[in-house]
Structures are given as C-alpha cells and as structure tokens.
C-alpha cells in the first residue's frame, strides 16, 4: 500500500489499473479526459499490460466495451455528461447483454445550456438502464469503489455493468491523500474475471443479444435483469465487508453520519456530502440533533437500509443536485416512494434542488435547510420544493441579461 | 475477370461449396436477395465466424431461441456494429495474447448490416474502424432502402425509385451514395461489390477477402421483392439484369486499384432492369417518362465511359 496525492480522476485511473482491466475503449470529454490520458500514459510506457482503443464517439465506446466484456475480458471505460447521453442507447443495450464492466462517470451538467460545471442530471439519466451505480464523495472512495464495482458486477448473481460516479471539478480535479492498495492485495480482493458461459469461442458458438418476439419473453428477460440488479444489494454488502476486513476502510451501501440520534437529517449523494458533514458538525456544536444519510449505492436502491436509517426521524432535507424537468429532484421522488406507508417514516421530506452546473452549496444554506426542515416537521406542513439560489446570484444574472440586451441594441441587432 | 482467377478455388458453378451452412426457416421474405447473398457468403467464410449485426432485416435471423448460424452472433444497435466488432476483435486478441484461449478458438469477425446502417447511421463508426485498421469483414446487404421498416428512402436508394417516403411522380430525388469509393478513398485492405445472382464472382471475392487482414467490405446488391415490388421468383433475374445493364458494376478495390471483375460486353438497356420493378413503374405508367429514363441511362453510360 502506498499513500499518494491523487485527483479524483487519478484515483479512477488507479482503480482501473489495480483491477487488472484488460481493455480500455476511450473517448475524451471534460472533465473525464485526465482518466484516459493517465491510463494511456501507463500503457504507453509499458507499466500496465492493457490495451486501449480510441473510438469516434461514446456510443461506439460503450458498444466496444460491452462487446469486449461479452467476449470475456475485463473492461474499463469512462465518460461524462453529454458523452453519457450520447452513449445512452448503448448504455441500456449492454446492460441487457449482462456483460459486466466498469464505467466511471465524472458528473457534469447537461446541455442546454452547455456547461462544464458539475451536477448529477447526467448520471440520473442512466438510472433505469440496468447499470448499477456507486456514488463517491472522496478520492479514496473512487479507487475503492472501482474495485468494489468489478467485484459486485462480475458476481454470478449479478452480472451487470457498473457506473462509478464522481463529481466533475469538485472531485475530478481535487487532490486528496489516497491510500492506494498494492496490486497483490487488490488481486486478493478481486480475482481474475471469470466470464463463465458468456463469451465467444470457436468451439462454443453462442448467439448473444438476439431479438425476442412478443411481450412474454421480453418481460421475462427484463425482469430477470431487474432481479439481478436487486441481488446486488446483498452482494455489495458482502463485498464491502470483505473489503473492510482486508483494507480497513468501510464503504457501506448507505453511509450514516451522526444520524443515529438525529431528528433532522440531510439526504444526498456525491462530494458535497462532505460539506454536509461539516455543517452537521457545526449544527451539533450548536446543540442541534442533525445528521447525514448518504447512499453510495443508488442502483440497486438499498431500500431496506434507507428505511432503517431514516426510521423515526422527524424530517429529512433531501438535496438533489439534479433536476427532472417538470417534476423536480430525483432523489426526493425516489425516497418518498421508498418511505411511503412505512409506519415510522419521517413526517417531512423537504425537497431542495441545488448545486446545479457547478454551483456551490454554502454552509449557511445547509443551516437554512436544516431549519426549514425542522420547522416543517414541527408544523406538519411540508414546504414547497426549493431551488438553492440567492438574491446575489439573481442580481448577477440580471446584470448579464442587461449586458446581453445592451449589446444586442448597440450592435444594431435590435 | 479477375487477374488472379487462377488462384481461386472457384472457377465455375460446380466449384461452389455443396454443403450449405446457413439453416433454413428464417423470417426473411420469400425471394430475399439479401439472404441469398448471405447464404453464398457464409458457405465460403465457414462457421468459425461471429456476425456482429446492426438493426435491419437480418436482425430477424436470430430470434430467441433460434438462429440459422452455426457460429456466433451479437446484435448491437443500428449505428455501431463496427464498434461492436472492434470490442470482439480486441477481446479475442487480448485473450490469445495473454494465453487465456488457444489460437484455434479465434473467430473471424464479420459485421452484417443493411444499407441503412452502412450508408447512413453507421458510417461514422465504420469510418473510424477503417481509421484504426480494424481487422474485420463488413458485409452490407444493400436493398436500397430501409427494408425492414417498409422501404423508406435511404442513402442507398437509387435516383427516381419510388419508396414509401417518396411517393411522387419522380420518386426519390437524391442519388445513391458511392459507398465503394468512400471506403476505397481510405485505402482499406479490400472493397468489392457482389450480388447473389453472380455466385462465382461472389465466391471469389469472399475467398479473397477472407484471406486478408484489415478492413474489408463486401457490398451485396440485394434485390428485395417486397421493397422493390416484384414477384419473389424474379430476384435472381433482377440481380443478373443489374449486372448486365451496368447498373451494378461488379468490381473490387485491392492494392490501391479498382478492377472491374465483370464488364458487360454489350450492356442491356437499363430500362429492361427498371421495367421489372414496381418501384420504377411510374417511369412507364401512366405514360413513359423519357426524360428520366434517359437521365438514368446516361448516368450508367457515363460511369462505364469513365471506367473504360
């Protein structure tokens, strides 16, 4: 084991290398590109015996990734934002092939308007695809989660591809100290990929991904894949326990931070959860019983753990760094469906949408969300969903709009 | 006639394989010219083959739990069969290089798509596969339209053909894309046109392509009774007329040169080819469209003048 200062992207690349991935189909996109550049450097210098191929699009990249996994090698790839959206047809398709591999997504807001700033709307678009999803909040988690992702996705009870998500910029370009396991220790945790019967060999012809006629077979295979994804809850727990035993680091499917005796908890994913932890500490210092519940595993949805961790809480502040246009925050809707009808479910689920397109979430905003949620729980009136957006931000935006109008006028466009 | 005809195992009809590898009872239409070509190609390629398929008519060859192939099959999506082939080829090479499979377990990687994918949606992934010098054979069954969805116009549709998206008196206003030249311009290992109605020419080209490495393309003109609107019994005759009229030049690109493998000595008037097909009926009824017929003939003549 060595201790290194790594960016989130560097950590993702190390995760792939320690996993002994054989094959890396790649396509560049900000803020993911550092991952494939790092890997390309290692392969080019002969430091890692893998093959990298650069495709002309993410659609082709995921097709090549799935096809190689279906042929029996261990595959790693990475993308972000528009790339994930461009690949989406194949994201759904290769999950149905039951060909396990790992794809890191470096989360970034989606167009339009086009932006480089981070949020989770990109990865939410893949939530119904059959890819499992692990969401990281630190660079250490990124390395460890890639190893966990292969272990879970390749398990015979699961056999599905896995997305490991990290936030663009906030994590991708932030250096943190990371414990990098030795390759032998990593191999002890993650044995060589056993493709089983799913592979192409001259002596064993097989047809994969064939058409079906009618809803009967279609429903059967889709539901089988759903059940396989659900199997991954237990498989993940086993893998995380083994990981902790070997490496001493705990990565539960759902992280609970000072939530046991809390009456109000923040519920969110990703790197901003580290800001929430800081807010929790300060609110605790001020005498408030506040905590954090953070799913790392979002697909499969670890419903039992989430119910248990939130049982008896008075209010939950759900913070969505995504926006389902015309509905609202995705985490909020999913949490509501998980808790509805549970006798000891929290009385209030307050919905906050924030951190879109790289926007920060300030400590004061965490305090305010805790206050609003506590008051709502006391009054029994759930507040309307709220966008985290300050008067200062609106004033700045109005200035930009003023410039846009003035420029159009001055250039004679109007 | 190819200059290397002496090297071929296929000199005349009786040299063609007598064992047929593709199973019967597929879901293709009666008289499918595409299936005819695939039959003939598969017999020469052999069963140590994986077909990587894009959305199209032939996607319906493998419907759970049946397949007519003795080898393997992977359906991808419409745009990315060459990328799927890249993944399979690379994975097989990795497995061999790392000693995880013996060389005899290797497979020939063959992309199988229609013209909709080959000329249109899949051209980007195809072009990139050529850039990377991918070792694969691309088979395009070209039925000159989106046949599986009812013959809408594609980039492979010929000028003036009536399709289900171009119903007017002039038919499809565009011109059939020159996929052969697009490939050839990028200097791949091999490009050839074939049609099932000329099985000896086809077998020689498959034989030649199979012995090479790198990107290789076979474009098989595939007469389509349902899409082109003619009786299924006429498929072979229409394929033969496509060659004899010069509408479908049989040629190959190899070693940087284009060679015509069959030069019709006296070309049959194009009209003879068009007249058999309902998709060109508007050129003859209710009255003859001499201007359009002359234009089509002139284009064929100009092609051969340039080729001669």
In which band, very low, low, confident or very high, does the pLDDT at A1 lie, cut at 50, 70 and 90? confident
A201 and A54 both lie in a single domain: yes
ipTM: 0.96
A225 and A268 both lie in a single domain: no
Q: Could you tell me if A203 lies within 8 Å of chain B, comparing CB atoms?
A: yes
- For the entire predicted model, the pTM comes to 0.97
Are B132 and B144 spatial neighbours (Cβ–Cβ below 8 Å)?
no
A201 contacts on B by Cβ (under 8 Å): 101, 105, 107
A210 and A276 both lie in a single domain: no
CA distance B212 to B206: 10
Structure tokens at A137: 């909040």
pLDDT of residue A241: 98
B73 contacts on A by Cβ (under 8 Å): 206-208, 210
How confident is the model over A121-173, as pLDDT tens digits? 999 999 999 999 999 999 999 999 999 999 999 999 999 999 999 999 999 99
Strands A315-320 and A264-267: parallel
CA distance A221 to A213: 12
Q: Could you tell me if A64 lies within 8 Å of chain B, comparing CB atoms?
A: yes
pLDDT of residue B2: 44
The residue written with tokens 């030249």 in the block is B181
pLDDT of residue B308: 80
A401, part of any domain: no
| DSSP count for chain B of H helices, then E strands | 9, 8
Are B109 and B50 spatial neighbours (Cβ–Cβ below 8 Å)?
yes
d(CA B37, nearest CA chain A) in Å: 21
A195 and A277 both lie in a single domain: no
CA distance A280 to A261: 12
List the 322-361 stretch of A: residues with Cβ below 8 A of B.
Answer: none
The values of phi and psi at residue B230, to 5°, are -155, 170
Which alpha helices (H) appear in A26-132, and where do they start and end? 33-44, 58-71, 81-86, 88-96, 121-124
Are B129 and B83 spatial neighbours (Cβ–Cβ below 8 Å)?
yes
User: The CATH number of the domain where A338 resides is what?
Assistant: 3.40.50.920
Nearest one of A259, A263, A282 to A364, comparing CA atoms: A282
How confident is the model over A93-106, as pLDDT tens digits? 999 999 999 999 99
d(CA A211, nearest CA chain B) in Å: 5
Residue in B75, B90, B101 closest to A53 by CB? B90
pLDDT of residue A414: 65
pLDDT along chain B (308 residues), means of 10: 65 94 94 98 96 97 96 98 98 98 98 98 98 98 97 98 96 98 98 98 98 98 98 98 98 96 95 98 97 98 94
Distances (CA, A) of B158 to A108, A190, B115, B161, B180: 44, 55, 12, 6, 15
Angle at B245 between CA B239 and CA B247, to 5 degrees: 75
Q: Do B125 and A70 touch (CB under 8 A)?
A: no
Distances (CA, A) of A158 to A100, A231, B205: 9, 6, 44
B71 contacts on A by Cβ (under 8 Å): 202, 205
Are A73 and B94 spatial neighbours (Cβ–Cβ below 8 Å)?
yes
Residue in A60, A72, A208 closest to B80 by CB? A60
Q: Tell me the count of A-B CB pairs closer than 8 A.
A: 153
A161 and A269 both lie in a single domain: no
How confident is the model over A211-235, as pLDDT tens digits? 999 999 999 999 999 999 999 999 9
CA distance B190 to B212: 8
A259 and A221 both lie in a single domain: no
Distances (CA, A) of A15 to A8, A21, A139, A362: 10, 9, 10, 31
User: The CATH number of the domain where A30 resides is what?
Assistant: 3.40.50.970
B48 contacts on A by Cβ (under 8 Å): 202
Peptide bond between residue A28 and the one before it cis (omega within 30 degrees of 0): no
Looking at A184, A213, A247, the residue that finishes a domain is: A247
Structure tokens at B4: 């290397």
d(CA B97, nearest CA chain A) in Å: 11
The residue written with tokens 């591809």 in the block is A161
pLDDT of residue B3: 47
Q: Do A55 and B128 touch (CB under 8 A)?
A: yes
A332, part of any domain: yes
Angle at A126 between CA A121 and CA A131, to 5 degrees: 140
A55, part of any domain: yes
Residue-number span of the structural domain to which A243 is assigned? 2-247
Q: Could you tell me if B29 lies within 8 Å of chain A, comparing CB atoms?
A: no
Which domains are assigned to chain B?
13-307 (3.40.50.970)
How confident is the model over A7-45, as pLDDT tens digits? 999 999 999 999 999 999 999 999 999 999 999 999 999
Type and span of the H or E element at A387 = strand A386-387
């Amino acid at each position: 084991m060595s201790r290194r200062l790594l960016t989130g992207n560097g950590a993702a690349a190390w995760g792939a290398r320690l996993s002994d991935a054989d094959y890396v189909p790649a396509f560049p996109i900000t803020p993911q590109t550092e991952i494939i550049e790092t890997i390309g450097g290692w392969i080019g210098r002969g430091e890692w015996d893998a093959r990298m191929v650069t495709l002309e699009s993410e659609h082709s990249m995921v097709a090549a990734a799935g096809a190689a996994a279906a042929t029996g090698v261990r595959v790693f790839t990475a993308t972000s934002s528009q790339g994930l959206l461009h690949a989406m047809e194949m994201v759904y398709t290769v999950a149905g092939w039951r060909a396990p591999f790992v794809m890191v997504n470096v989360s970034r807001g989606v167009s339009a308007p086009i932006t480089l700033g981070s949020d989770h709307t990109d990865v939410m678009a893949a939530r119904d695809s059959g890819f499992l999803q692990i969401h990281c909040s630190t660079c250490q988690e990124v390395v460890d989660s890639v190893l966990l992702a292969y272990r879970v996705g390749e398990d015979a009870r699961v056999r599905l591809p896995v997305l490991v998500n990290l936030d663009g910029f906030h994590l991708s370009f932030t250096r943190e100290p990371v414990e990098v396991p030795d390759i032998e220790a990593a191999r002890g945790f993650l044995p060589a990929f056993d493709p089983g019967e799913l592979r192409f060999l001259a002596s064993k012809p097989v047809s994969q991904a064939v058409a079906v006629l009618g809803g009967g077979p279609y429903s059967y295979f889709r539901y089988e894949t759903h059940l396989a994804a659900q199997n991954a809850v237990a498989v993940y727990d086993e893998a995380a326990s083994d990981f902790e035993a070997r490496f001493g680091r705990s990565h539960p499917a759902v992280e609970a931070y000072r939530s046991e005796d809390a009456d109000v908890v923040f519920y969110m994913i990703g790197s901003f959860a580290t800001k929430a932890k800081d807010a929790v500490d300060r609110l605790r210092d001020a005498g408030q019983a506040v905590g954090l519940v953070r799913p790392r595993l979002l697909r499969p949805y670890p419903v039992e753990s989430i119910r248990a961790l939130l049982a008896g809480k008075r209010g939950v502040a759900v913070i969505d760094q995504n926006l389902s246009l015309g509905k609202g925050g995705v985490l909020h809707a999913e949490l509501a469906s998980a808790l509805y009808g549970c006798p000891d479910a929290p009385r209030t689920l307050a919905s906050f949408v924030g951190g879109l397109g790289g926007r920060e979430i300030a400590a004061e905003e965490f305090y305010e969300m805790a206050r609003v949620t506590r008051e709502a729980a006391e009054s029994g009136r759930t507040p309307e969903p709220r966008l985290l957006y300050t008067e200062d931000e609106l004033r700045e935006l109005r200035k930009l709009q003023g410039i846009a109008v003035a420029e159009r006028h001055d250039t004679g466009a109007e | 006639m190819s200059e290397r005809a002496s090297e071929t195992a296929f000199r005349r009809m009786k040299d063609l394989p007598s064992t047929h590898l593709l199973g019967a009872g597929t879901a293709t239409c009666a008289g499918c010219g595409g299936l005819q070509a695939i039959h003939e190609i598969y017999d020469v390629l052999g069963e140590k083959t994986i077909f990587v398929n894009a959305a199209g008519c032939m996607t319906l060859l493998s419907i759970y739990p049946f397949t007519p192939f003795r080898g393997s099959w992977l359906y991808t999506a419409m745009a990315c069969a060459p990328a799927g082939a890249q993944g399979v080829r690379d994975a097989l090479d990795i497995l061999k290089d790392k000693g995880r499979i013996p060389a005899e377990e290797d497979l020939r990687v063959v992309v199988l798509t229609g013209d909709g994918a080959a000329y249109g949606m899949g051209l980007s992934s195809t072009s990139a596969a050529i850039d990377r010098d991918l070792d694969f054979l691309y088979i395009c069954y070209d039925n000159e339209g989106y046949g599986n969805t009812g013959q809408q116009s594609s980039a492979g549709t010929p000028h003036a053909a009536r399709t289900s998206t171009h119903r007017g008196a002039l038919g499809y206003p565009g011109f059939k894309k020159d996929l052969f030249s697009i490939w050839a311009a990028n200097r791949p290992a091999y490009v050839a046109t074939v049609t099932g109605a000329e099985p000896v020419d086809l077998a020689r080209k498959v034989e030649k392509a199979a012995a090479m490495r790198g990107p290789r393309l076979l474009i098989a003109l595939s007469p389509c009774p349902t899409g082109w609107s003619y009786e299924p019994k006429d498929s072979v005759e229409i394929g033969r007329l496509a060659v004899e009229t010069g509408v479908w030049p049989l040629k190959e690109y190899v070693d940087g040169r284009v060679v015509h493998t069959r030069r019709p000595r006296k070309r049959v008037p194009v009209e003879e080819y068009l007249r058999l097909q309902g998709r060109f009926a508007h050129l003859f009824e209710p009255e003859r469209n001499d201007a359009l017929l002359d234009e089509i003939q002139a284009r064929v003549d100009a092609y051969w003048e340039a080729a001669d």
